[in-house]
Amino acid sequence: MFEGKLLAIFIAPQAGQPLQSIDQIRAVPGKGLEGDRYFSGLGNYSDRPGPDREVTLIESEALQALLQEANITLPANETRRNMLTEGVPLNHLVGKQFRVGEVILRGVRLCEPCSYLAKLTRPEVTPALVHRGGLRAQVVSEGIVRIGDVITAE
């Protein structure tokens, strides 16, 4: 078991726009995070809908490793992920439910780095984040997610 923490929340209203940091957000089953590009169908991959487009998470530890191992500084908002976590083994949550504060999410699949991320940041990010680019998750229960929320296995 683990007990982690939500360090940051990011959304963008449309594809390609910089992600904005917010303090809290409503998660809605079947839609994702209210105000985010995928919630409204305006994300870069919105033409490929599915539960794996609702929420994305990345570990702060992955960004620290990126700096230490590849000397790449990648601010959390530039990862294009919605939530920055600490102390959460995201790769182990594929196919499992977990709680972020009052909201239950289910890990759908790993969020491997792609050419779109490389285009918006820099190409060397792609190989450096393979297998630690985060987790795509589905919203199981509606509620408000807040910075500082505890993250635990369900």
Burial bucket for residue 87 (CB in 10 Å: 0-12, 13-18, 19+): middle
113, 125 contact by CB (below 8 A): yes
pLDDT for position 104: 98
CATH architecture group of domain 3-153: Beta Barrel (2.40)
Task: Report the pLDDT value the prediction gives residue 142, as an integer from 0 to 100.
Answer: 98
Blockwise average pLDDT, block size 10, the chain, 154 residues: 96 91 98 94 78 93 93 90 97 98 97 74 78 94 98 95
Given this model, what pLDDT does residue 118 score?
66
Q: What is the pTM of this model?
A: 0.93
Half-sphere exposure of 90 (CA within 13 A, CB side): 28
Contacts of 48 (CB under 8 A, 6+ apart): none
* Type of residue found at 20: Q
